Structure 1
Amino acid sequence: MNSERWSTHVVEIRGDDVTKRYRKGDARALLDREWRALTLLDAHAPGLAPAPIAVDREAVPPAVVMSRVPGVPLRGSPVDAVRMAAMAETLDALYAAVPYDRLARVPMRPDHQAGLIARLRTWHGRGPGPAAGAAVRAALREGMAWLDRSGLAAGPYVPGAPVFGPGDGNLANYLWDEHACRVRVVDFEDSGRSDRAFELAEITEHVSGWSDGGLDAVAFLDCFDLTVEERSRLRECRRLLALTWLFILSFEDPAHRRNPPGTAEGQAGRLRELLG
């Protein structure tokens, strides 16, 4: 299951069962999204994710019990061609798993385009953290200038071909099973209706993809048969998610880092490269 090193929740493993306890302030919403995802995927794509066993909304903290799935997180080591192909195959299946009529009743995932832009505006008003250096501050200014002229804030994006999105690009949530030569997905607390370009940008721009591992974004994205519209949108979504990560990294407390020193500066360079 998900490595505790990157976890924001409590995970208990007992034999073939895993109990996940939600300790954030919006724990009930996290639990509801996770349980909905597990039940939907179990019904329409069994074996892709843990199977739902039980849910306890009244517990403190609330908890979901699910099956234990084999595999080790892709985070922390290079994602080679075999693992990359298996991950892409899993994502293709996951995105298409939920039938359209059922997916239409699933709420949009948290921090999709409109919500994320609103969050960025709030962060911009607050300004970067005091430890952010000149390169980070300059890239943030360039990123916000791009956002102002991008047109993304004109209105919420309504995907023409919606997909079910896990909502978290952390490579720790993608488990490689070398015996089955398969990747399975865990952690659906931010899942919901989305679009494929946004979800792929969520993965390629997550800090786990480049800071301590090695996901070749170009090779990974070439695994997908994207439409011309999706490729155009993907470019803008990658910029949006890269800007988001630069803000997140700028807020890190240097005394209690979750990422190695220099990660924010690396992210600044990554954003500038995407902005062209």
Structure 2
Amino acid sequence: MANTHAVEVGSAAVVKRFRRWDQGEHRREWRALTLLAEHAPGLAPVPGFPQPTDPDRPPGRADLEADPPSVTMTRLEGVPLAGRLTDAQVGGLAEAVAAVQEAIPGPVLRALPFRLLHPLVALRRLRAWCARRPSPDGDPLVVRAFGAVTDWVGRPRLDDVFSAEFTPVFGLGDGNLANYLWDGARVRIVDFEYSGLSDRAYELAEVVEHISVWVDDGLDAPAFLSRFELTPAETARLRECRRLLALYWFRSVLSEDPERPRNPPGTAARQAGRLLALLGA
């Protein structure tokens, strides 16, 4: 996935300039920061930041009408989660994910637009990709996985699964571990350009199936998921959401420019193995 923004990091403030904003990514970012500053202070950057060291420059906030648009926010302490997470980091990640999901009051939450890449949208795009792409050559595991997912996405019942309504939560919409900052005691969150209305199972799947987790085997998924109390229906939905998002990353890896790969050699085969394991679960 190409970078959607550029970031200017100062000693106390960060300016995020968007390279792509056709789906309102800049407005989603600003809305999320504003809501979280009100309802979950300390979990995410504070939107806007005064710059007293430059008296000729007005306080930094957001320029949502500019080309490109930008958002200014406070800088958070901490380093992005990476590598094999410790038990404390897994716990901190779970606490942060739960906090962001539950932060926004119900009436405000239900008025928000859906997060980007709603599960039904993802399903339709993946069906189209499977239908038009010939079976890949090369690694037998990749070929086998492609056949299995082509069969899976064709199941009509998936439309009902992914259109079903569940208890709404606020969704970050991006499970990249780099969006979670560890300061030695807690995890806080950055990057809300895909955020919006979602459901718990889909957001948890977003975290545990993100390619940043599996490239480095960074997250103990069962340990992370055990920290959430899911209903039987959410547990069943989580299983299908994990398959859906694992397929999304399978497609992403197979669609890479071979001259400019974004992932280490062997990632496609590893993702194929993950997919086959999830489909057989």
Q: Is the 8 A contact 1:132 1:250 kept in 2?
A: no
Which deviates more from structure 2 when the two are superposed, residues 220-229 or residues 94-103?
220-229
**Residue 203, structure 1, aligned to residue 207, structure 2:** yes
1:140-151 superposed matches below 5 A: 140-149=146-155, 151=157
Residue type at the aligned position of 1:273: A
- Partner residue of 1:18? 14
SS at match of 1:243: helix
- Partner residue of 1:69? 76
Percent same amino acid among aligned pairs? Answer: 51
Gap runs ≥5 in structure 1:
1-5
Q: 2:66 aligns with which of 49, 52, 59?
A: 59
Choose between structure 1 and 2 for higher RCO, CA contacts under 8 A separated by at least 6 residues.
Answer: 1
Deviations 1:245-273 (A, max 9, x none): 11111111121011001101100000000
| Two-structure CA RMSD over aligned residues (Å) | 1.8
Structure with the greater alpha carbon radius of gyration: 2
Number of equivalences: 267
Shift of 1:156: 5.2
TM-score, normalised via structure 1 length = 0.91
1:114-263 superposed matches below 5 A: 114-127=120-133, 133-149=139-155, 151-154=157-160, 157-178=163-184, 181-263=185-267
**Residue 29, structure 1, aligned to residue 24, structure 2:** yes
Gap runs ≥5 in structure 2:
49-60
SS at match of 1:194: strand
In the alignment, the residues of structure 1 paired with residue 71 and residue 6 of structure 2 have an alpha-carbon distance, to the nearest angstrom, of 11
Shift of 1:126: 3.1
- Partner residue of 1:102? 108
In the alignment, the residues of structure 2 paired with residue 255 and residue 72 of structure 1 have an alpha-carbon distance, to the nearest angstrom, of 30
In structure 2, do the counterparts of structure 1 residues 79 and 17 end up closer, same or farther at CA, with 3 Å as the change threshold? same
- Partner residue of 1:3? none
Residue type at the aligned position of 1:34: E
In structure 2, do the counterparts of structure 1 residues 25 and 35 end up closer, same or farther at CA, with 3 Å as the change threshold? closer
Deviations 1:4-62 (A, max 9, x none): xx853100012211000000262x61101111111111110011011110110232211
In the alignment, the residues of structure 2 paired with residue 147 and residue 126 of structure 1 have an alpha-carbon distance, to the nearest angstrom, of 13
In structure 2, do the counterparts of structure 1 residues 229 and 135 end up closer, same or farther at CA, with 3 Å as the change threshold? same
In structure 2, do the counterparts of structure 1 residues 85 and 111 end up closer, same or farther at CA, with 3 Å as the change threshold? same
In the alignment, the residues of structure 2 paired with residue 184 and residue 150 of structure 1 have an alpha-carbon distance, to the nearest angstrom, of 39
